[in-house]
Structure 1
Amino acid sequence: MPRRDRQMSLGAFLLYTGHHVAAWRHPGASDSTRFQDFAQFARIAEEAKFDAVFLADGVSARITDAAAASRKAHSGFYPFEPVTLLSALSAVTSRIGLVATASTSFSDPYNLARQFASLDHLSDGRAGWNLVTSADQGAAFNFSRDAIIAHADRYRRAEEFVDVVTGLWDTTDDDAFSRDRENGIYFDPGKVRALDHRGTFFQVRGPLNIPRPPQGRPVVIQAGSSEPGKELAARTAEAVFTAQQTLAGSVAFYSDLKGRLSKYGRSADDLKILPGVFPVVGKTRQEASDKFEQLQSLLEPSVGLDMLADLAGVEDIRTMSVDLLISDLPETEGGKSRRALFLELAARENLTLRQLYERVAGARGHWQIVGSAEDIADELEERFVNHGADGFNIMSPALPWGLSDFVELVVPELRRRGLFRQEYQGHTLRDHLGLSRPDLLRGALPKVAAE
């Protein structure tokens, strides 16, 4: 296969008991309700020299169908708020990046800028923010709204939100806080500025009351793959977490997104594309297949339909026959890219609802591979060298064994092929991803008047 100059990046996507919706029922899965559990997962990933651990988040309990929700782990119940958990993990790790999800739909930019600046300081430059917009009706009810924000408005809000956050991170120079004891000067007023942002959605004076983060700015990651999502990523993201089922789709997405960067004055190296992959690995293909089938046997129909309803944003799915062939799903204000992915998959393979939820119960629309270490390394290498990805976010089927299996079996094979690092070469998340430290954007930010 052709070679690339860089090695691939690997993230460990830690989702409580594991990514398979029935993983919590597996006898080998951790309860993942204690800090010690997540400390173990993070140490496994760090010892393997992963770029980062990645935490999802949601701000509602998804119990529209309470009976079905009670049977699955992925029903909106999270053991920890992610920035809080990663702050604690920063004390028991030293090199691995720490990425938390936070929604622009249900957050405040000033508070979020403080949280991630704090995490970057606590971890000595290992913080990343996974920016998402939210289409969760239950979350809207928890934040004084009667309905979710319309899709187009969600992205307009996100555009302004990320500008405010990055602007706040740049309201102090790196050397603003001189702490000159002899002359009694704590900071240089010429190196601290107000933001004075007045926009459609936010009014934020600033400056941020935390010094500039060690990385300059925490790494900004995004997950949207819709048209507005790709445009937002091209302008503001430094890494993208995406769901791509096929090699052709991955290469097309990669080329499309990287091709949008130049109009924003950015180069292809300014953005890393990291698709999610759900690997079930065994010492043999049969062993891997047996592991996967054991997880599948724990999946109940009501859970499968509930999961599809959540991911596609179509409540009526919960009451449909599992044997119904999927020809179309009604348009909603929910997530567009995942709905389109499901429809494409169902049409390509002529799937019923039952067959669809069985296909996505583990990866929920992301790429799924079941096989030996060599099989999985072959698949990852093919997408990497053909410019379908700069690396991958590993979605372990169950924790901790799914992550341990990948580390013990696949990582050595990737190293044997020269595709993954033997040791960390830097200390920050930007170092791991090969991203430059951003210059301070002074722009038109006014100075704070010395009093």
Structure 2
Amino acid sequence: MRRGDEMKLGLFLRQAGHHEGAWLDPSVPANGGVDIDYYAHLAELAEGAAFHFVFLADNLSVTERDHAHMARVSRNDAFEPITLLSALSSRTEQIGLVATATTTYHQPYHLARMLASLDHLSRGRAAWNIVTSISKFEAQNFGEEELPDHDARYVRAREFVEVIKGLWDSWEDDAFIRDKQSGIFADTTKMHLLNHRGAYFSVRGPLNIARPRQGNPVLVQAGASDAGIQFAAELAEVVFSAAPFLEHAKRHYAILKEKARALGREDDQVLVMPGIIPIVGRTKQEASEKLQRLQSYTHMDVQLGLADLALGFVTDLRSMDLDSLVPETLPQTNFMQSRQKVLLDLAARQRFTWKQLIRSVSDSRGHLMVVGTPDEIADVMVDRFDQRAADGFNVLPVSFPGELKDFIDLVVPELRRRGKFRLRQSGQTLRESLGLKRPLNRFTQLSGERSSVSTCSSR
């Protein structure tokens, strides 16, 4: 199916911003991670600029492994995503609300109910970023010493998603008739037990809330390992990625779309939205000075700890010669395999020393970072969109609220001038806004198929 001419834009919300030094900037609120008014202001800015959604990442643990790193970061004082987005649903009207929740340490029934509730609260604007847990520190909060194997986590995740989708279909769309005259609240002929029995889960159902307004909240996924790409091709409707180089982005885009087509899915029902870190200035010098100021706030303990984490805790950078070249390979991690690969590819391409890679991770975490004027940033975004390396972007401002405002005031108008971004919000639900179809209820489909077979047989 033909893709539209306008890209999709999401806003990745993250406490002070996406640079590790952002919370030390005098213009950035230090307590933003637990300030609902702060988050509401950011969401309202994005909604006013016609962004399609705001997105929140999550971990079920503190991820830093030493106190020197932990003491200097602002990441460990923040709201749980579904709770925060439920509050933001009453402070916004049209923008989508994307919550991260892990399949490794949740149960499907609990999460199906919470996400269905968010979809009803927001009148159809909820989305679920499906992840598997990435840290042994998460495992240790749930009675385990180590994470399950990387590929085994995806096997469990696949069953988890199938269960949760089945639970969302427990009630047909018109099952709750709420008829006061007859005294019948629910038509139980339109209620369906899931009765799932699988390798990981045993779930009877039904869910004790009506089917979500969107049928299913939009399904989002971000894995780029082989297992992650296959998972996305099967189930995801929006796919996040880290793609610093155009050729890598084009290859990931093409592989994912090809795998999805092979499974009978349409291209415009699987949207690829890589991350972009734009640092915008009215001149190139102004933009560069913004980055340099943030770099000056970032302590070496933070840079080392973040690089160790991003590489999957297979290194101990404090013991290395940081002026030596990064090797082409490292031991495989059981954490974020795709991110480790992105960073090693980046280091090989740029012939980075460890010191240079550590600085790069601190600035961008392997995402595309563009430091420049509005024209320069728009040039990169439009080029990637036109070359089918992206259907849109997940925007990661380095600091809030200033860099978000600058992107909205300077880059968004340039994208619109080129006919690449919409002028206003559209659609009643997030699915409508993104051009995604509302899924049919599996049980309604099955009943219809049986009825059709019966009718044909009677003839």
Shorter-chain TM-score: what band? over 0.9
Give the residue type in structure 1 aligned to 2:422: R
**Cα distance in 2 for residues equivalent to 1:24 and 1:249:** 32
**Cα distance in 2 for residues equivalent to 1:260 and 1:232:** 10
SS in 1 for 2:176: coil
SS in 2 for 1:53: strand
Question: Do the aligned residues in 1 keep the contact of 2:314 with 2:331 (CA within 8 Å)?
Answer: no
Give the alignment of 1:291-330 within 5 angstroms.
291-321=290-320, 322-327=322-327, 328-330=329-331
**Cα distance in 2 for residues equivalent to 1:30 and 1:304:** 22
Counterpart position of 2:188: 189
Question: Do the aligned residues in 2 keep the contact of 1:363 with 1:395 (CA within 8 Å)?
Answer: no
**Cα distance in 2 for residues equivalent to 1:64 and 1:213:** 39
Counterpart position of 1:144: 143
Distance 1:64 1:445, change over 3 A: farther
Cα offset, 1:190, TM superposition: 1.1
Cα offset, 1:444, TM superposition: 9.6
**Cα distance in 2 for residues equivalent to 1:78 and 1:195:** 38
* More moved, 21-30 vs 406-415: 21-30
Counterpart position of 2:450: none
Question: Do the aligned residues in 2 keep the contact of 1:57 with 1:78 (CA within 8 Å)?
Answer: no
Cα offset, 1:443, TM superposition: 8.0
Question: Do the aligned residues in 1 keep the contact of 2:314 with 2:330 (CA within 8 Å)?
Answer: no
Give the residue type in structure 2 aligned to 1:324: S
**Cα distance in 1 for residues equivalent to 2:89 and 2:416:** 26
**Cα distance in 2 for residues equivalent to 1:234 and 1:4:** 18
**Cα distance in 2 for residues equivalent to 1:252 and 1:46:** 31
Question: Do the aligned residues in 1 keep the contact of 2:172 with 2:444 (CA within 8 Å)?
Answer: no
Cα offset, 1:357, TM superposition: 1.7
**Cα distance in 1 for residues equivalent to 2:377 and 2:340:** 27
Give the alignment of 1:247-258 within 5 angstroms.
247-258=246-257
Give the residue type in structure 1 aligned to 2:432: D
SS in 2 for 1:179: strand
Q: Does 1:19 align with 2:18?
A: yes
Gaps of 5+ in 1: 447-451
Give the residue type in structure 2 aligned to 1:396: P
Counterpart position of 1:449: none
TM-score by length of 1: 0.95
Counterpart position of 2:455: none
Give the alignment of 1:225-304 within 5 angstroms.
225-304=224-303
Question: Do the aligned residues in 1 keep the contact of 2:64 with 2:309 (CA within 8 Å)?
Answer: no
Give the alignment of 1:310-389 within 5 angstroms.
310-321=309-320, 322-327=322-327, 328-389=329-390
What are the Cα deviations for residues 266-294 of structure 1, in whole angstroms up to 9, with x where unaligned?
A: 11111100000000001111111110111
**Cα distance in 2 for residues equivalent to 1:364 and 1:434:** 30
SS in 2 for 1:94: coil
**Cα distance in 2 for residues equivalent to 1:318 and 1:114:** 43
Counterpart position of 1:118: 117
What are the Cα deviations for residues 177-202 of structure 1, in whole angstroms up to 9, with x where unaligned?
A: 01111111111111110101111111
Aligned-residue RMSD, C-alpha: 1.5
Counterpart position of 2:452: none
Give the residue type in structure 1 aligned to 2:351: N
Cα offset, 1:359, TM superposition: 1.2
Counterpart position of 2:456: none
* More moved, 201-210 vs 63-72: 63-72
Question: Do the aligned residues in 2 keep the contact of 1:250 with 1:389 (CA within 8 Å)?
Answer: yes
Aligned length: 442
Cα offset, 1:72, TM superposition: 2.1
Cα offset, 1:4, TM superposition: 5.8
SS in 2 for 1:305: helix
Percent of residue pairs identical: 46
Counterpart position of 2:392: 391
**Cα distance in 2 for residues equivalent to 1:20 and 1:290:** 14
Cα offset, 1:420, TM superposition: 0.5
Cα offset, 1:392, TM superposition: 0.2
Counterpart position of 1:161: 160
TM-score by length of 2: 0.94
What are the Cα deviations for residues 371-390 of structure 1, in whole angstroms up to 9, with x where unaligned?
A: 00000000000000111101
Cα offset, 1:363, TM superposition: 2.1
